[in-house]
Amino acid sequence: MDNAYQWVPFYEALADKLLVYSDKRDETPQLIRKARQGYAN
């Protein structure tokens, strides 16, 4: 795979996971913020 597109599988997997929350739009931003806190450093 070309180095320029190594991020594609990550975002495809993320999109698949977010589909579970498509009917829970109020919860989704909170979940993303919570997950991001683990990578803040």
pLDDT, tens digit (0-9, with 9 covering 90-100), for 1-41: 567 889 999 999 989 988 888 888 888 888 888 888 876 65
Q: Please tell me the predicted confidence (pLDDT) of residue 33.
A: 86
- Burial readout 8-33 (b: 16 or more C-beta within 10 A, e: otherwise): eeeeeeeeeeeeeeeeeeeeeeeeee
Q: Please tell me the predicted confidence (pLDDT) of residue 8.
A: 93
Two structure tokens written together for 21: 């929350």
Predicted TM-score of the model (pTM): 0.52
